[in-house]
Chains A and B, each alone.
Chain A
């Protein structure tokens, strides 16, 4: 079962929910659980889970293919220029010069497809890395921690998320932490998961962004439920909305200075609070039953 944790707004507690749910399940010991941190721009989950995993990492470089122009073979016909939808190719016919603006190239392959003169070859450009780490202790063997890092300065994150997702093992529980927003990189992380846990903050900004996400998931036809984080116990606009829209509320976490402190030290709630551990296991049960329900009606 692939469970993704998402939200349009940043800082609602995606990583908190993801890492704690993961650890609660892992400590139960009945399952092999994998963790994926697909927020490759700013990956944080490792700060919370570092001590569980070996320092030794299996590094994989993520490359995209970018065109290399052979200035001798090129006839400067301009077809590639015409095919490139991103204006990434600059050509000057008189000077017989053609080059690529690296950061605009999305590696779609249109230029090499159209070139009749064999003047374009493709070379690898490194855009980031994926780290794969194994579980340290002997119990819960096979549990892996996988995160990706975008090279600073490179604009496109989707290819890294894509190649991280090839590491998913079917039939195993995987927790997938995502980047904030509703961009294509987030869709890439979400489109083939089984269930999505949205994390919302009970504030006006939180509600607005939750609605954005709900709209997107409805279009993607995904099953999802909501965790309200930092709930203050007063008039709760997010809860009201969920009732009206008939979206399952999976869990509520009250705002507590204690929790904020535990988080700020990059520690896990489930390791500091037995009650929380129970709550996160309940969350998993809820996710499971919601997912089954959805599957029954499909």
Chain B
């Protein structure tokens, strides 16, 4: 089984649009949406949920005002500024709380209790392309990397059980914890970039991250016709650094039109030039 993750440094480069196009082309594959903070893949894949699992990682805490003796120990031990002091009363700011649980353990009168924190859910679903593991994370949750670990390992297990060829992962933007979890153990990273200076800047940071994790990297330039000089610059950069360059996809409104009908570009405009380019890119990926 081959694990392929579609990621990018900069956001909005076209990860999900291109992932869904690959889904239309791939055979005998399973998909995982690891952009848990703003997942969109389900909009196109239209999953029918078969099973769902609750994801709760760290439990948050609440201060019981009746029992609190205002000793301010919790306020002092918290390193995340998550305990708020309002007129000598103490409250937990839920969004800032990371669930380290230290305040609860330190409270001398046990006035702090854990509250059930259902951080999110993840699902295993059937789609017209194959099975999809996706999730819904409550807003403001951190440590979404744990959810990604769950989603990925679940998808991996199914892939191995059913002897599937590919696990195709729609990844998050950036180089933080979510990306690190996503690329952990994959065989190939497909970086989507655009033809702008800022995309190139972010691409370089992403490539550096992949290097530290020893992961094979390949690059696609999406919206490549916005600035041909920078497109060329990116191509040359890949060549010089020995990174597989997969292809250039020009700006195409069909992506957005297809999105409105919940279709990938391959389904919406199968005979368009863009679809042909993506088919060629997908063949290249299978050979890498």
Contacts and interface: CB of A to CB of B under 8 A. Distances in A.
A and B physically associate: yes
Interface of A: 8-12, 15, 39, 41-42, 44, 47-48, 83, 85-86, 103, 106-110, 113-114, 150, 152-153, 155-158, 162, 179-185, 187-188, 191, 201, 203-205, 208-209, 212-213, 215-216, 219-220, 232, 237, 257, 260-261, 263-266
A10 B12 contact: yes
Nearest to A235: B260
Contact of B96 (A48, A86, A191): A191
Contact of A8 (B10, B13, B37, B100): B37
Interface string B200-222: 01100110110010000000000
Contacts of B173: 10-11, 42, 180-181
A237 B43 CA distance: 15
B174 interface: yes
Indicate the member of B8, B139, B180, B205 with the most A CB atoms within 10 Å. Answer: B139
Contacts of A263: 196, 198, 226
B58 interface: yes
Nearest to B17: A205
Indicate the member of A180, A191, A216, A266 with the most B CB atoms within 10 Å. Answer: A180
A11 B79 contact: no
A85 B80 contact: no
B54 interface: no
Nearest to A182: B139
B96 A113 contact: no
Contacts of A10: 8, 10-13, 38, 173
A113 B37 contact: no
Interface stretch (B141-149, B152-160, B278-286): B141-149
Given A9-B38, A162-B81, A41 B176 contact: yes
A16 to B, nearest CB: 10
A291 to B, nearest CB: 21
Contact of B226 (A85, A152, A264): A264
Given A44-B201, A113-B102, A264 B195 contact: yes
